[in-house]
């Protein structure tokens, strides 16, 4: 019988958010496996953050981007990035430059920083925490990378699955936040409703697994028990199944390649259930097609896609954009963007493109 894995020192960024609080639940339940040495949060929930600091007594803690960078730079085994948005890029780079394993829940940092992030990441140092990419990483263990035919990302379809574009114009912010399966923050939940989140995940899958965009598919699976799949050249399809929660991907991100016992209840196979699969309605939900275009253009285009979307989501919740206007405006911003030369991407390039996209989105959004 193999011995238990050694205890790992963990830094949690975004500790008061959905991913961060679940990660700390896992640490709390498995003190023999994990020890918190750093905490950082956005500052929106000061009472909860103070309680976390008091409980876990990390070596370093603080709120804001600079605190996240400093915490990510700590000597440790794993940095879990549960931050939402482009603000996660610098902490992601700091963690990788420090030589830590990156448990990546902040997909935006990889998407907008692409080549920058991969350039500083040693092989095997990025472990995906998104449930879809965690499922792919697990499924890839069933064969050689050269035997992979395609990746299949599953999507719930969000709360508006089956609705036509005209009907989507009447969607309210409260309705957009009613995700059928997951409880997440407002940006990610809205992105799931527009399918922008799935578009971002297509770019993330390309960057994580070096699979071309034309071999990355998306299928709607409303029940979300199949988290994603890998199709191999012999026709075999290997999938990772589990309840539609984030516990397993988070625990596996912190413990990879070792599993943490009893973090989730297994599926009850004695109960009858129907699982459905449907194609994505690209006419009603064009976000995935737009993300493929941004990813294929490369350079700063993914950063523009992400930044424009963040601004448009905020405008939608402020009552300044209709629901379909989120992705429509992102498309306008992306069409106006000049990716530039083929020269190596720099951090300044990414930050400049991010700022330009936000300004241009504001110009297009009605005041």
Q: Are 26 and 258 in contact (CB under 8 A)?
A: no
What's the CATH number for 8-128? 3.40.50.720
pLDDT at res. 181: 63
User: First-to-last CA distance in the chain?
Assistant: 65
Tell me what pLDDT residue 2 has: 61
**Residue ranges of domains in the chain:** 8-128, 131-245+252-281, 298-367
Per-residue pLDDT of the chain (367 residues; tens, 9 = 90+): 467 789 999 999 999 999 999 999 999 999 999 999 999 999 999 999 999 999 999 999 999 999 999 999 999 999 999 998 889 999 999 999 999 999 999 999 999 999 999 999 999 999 999 999 999 999 999 999 999 999 999 999 999 999 999 999 999 999 999 876 666 678 889 999 999 999 999 999 999 999 999 999 999 999 999 999 999 999 999 999 999 999 999 999 999 999 999 999 999 999 999 999 999 999 999 999 999 999 999 999 999 999 999 999 999 999 999 999 999 999 999 999 988 765 688 999 999 999 999 999 999 998 7
CATH topology match: 8-128 vs 298-367: no
**Alpha-carbon gap, residue 61 to 70, rounded angstroms:** 9
The order of strands in the sheet holding 60-63 is 60-63, 34-41, 8-13, 78-81, 101-104, 126-128
Residue reference for tokens 């940092």: 109
pLDDT of residue 112: 94
Of 256, 265, 264, the residue nearest 34 (C-alpha): 256
Does the domain at 298-367 match CATH 1.10.1740.10? Answer given as yes
What was the pLDDT predicted at 260?
Answer: 97
- pLDDT at residue 331 in the model: 98
């Amino acid at each position: 019988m193999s011995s238990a894995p050694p205890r790992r020192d963990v830094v949690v960024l975004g500790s008061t958010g959905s991913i961060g609080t679940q990660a700390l639940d896992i640490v709390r339940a498995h003190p023999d496996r994990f020890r918190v040495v750093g905490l950082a949060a956005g500052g929106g929930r000061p009472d909860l953050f103070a309680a976390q600091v008091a409980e876990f007594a990390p070596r370093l803690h603080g709120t804001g981007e600079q605190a996240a960078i400093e915490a990510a730079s700590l000597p440790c085994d794993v940095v879990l990035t549960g931050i939402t948005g482009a603000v996660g890029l610098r902490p992601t780079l700091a963690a990788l430059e420090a030589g830590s394993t990156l448990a990546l829940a902040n997909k935006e940092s990889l998407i907008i920083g692409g080549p920058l992030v991969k350039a500083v990441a040693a092989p095997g140092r990025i472990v995906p925490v998104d449930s879809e990419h965690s499922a792919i990483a697990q499924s890839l263990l069933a064969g050689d990378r050269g035997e992979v035919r395609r990746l299949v990302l599953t999507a719930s379809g969000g709360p508006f699955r089956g609705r036509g574009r005209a009907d989507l114009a009447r969607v309210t912010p409260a309705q957009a936040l009613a995700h059928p399966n997951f409880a997440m923050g407002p940006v990610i939940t809205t992105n799931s409703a527009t399918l922008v989140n799935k578009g971002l995940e297509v770019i993330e899958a390309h960057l994580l697994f070096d699979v071309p965009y034309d071999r990355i598919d998306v299928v709607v699976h409303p029940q979300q028990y199949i988290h994603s799949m890998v199709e191999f050249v012999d026709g075999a399809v290997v999938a990772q199944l589990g309840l539609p929660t984030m516990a397993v991907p988070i625990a596996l991100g912190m413990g990879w390649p070792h599993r943490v016992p009893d973090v989730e209840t297994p599926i009850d196979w004695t109960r009858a259930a129907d699982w459905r699969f449907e194609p994505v309605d690209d006419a009603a939900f064009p976000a995935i097609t737009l993300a493929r275009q941004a990813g294929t253009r490369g350079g700063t285009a993914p950063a523009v896609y992400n930044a424009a979307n963040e601004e448009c989501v905020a405008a939608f919740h402020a009552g300044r954009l209709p629901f379909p206007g989120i992705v429509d405006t992102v498309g306008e911003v992306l069409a106006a963007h000049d990716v530039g030369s083929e020269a190596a991407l720099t951090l300044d390039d990414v930050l400049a493109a991010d700022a330009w996209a936000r300004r241009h989105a504001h110009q297009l959004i009605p005041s």
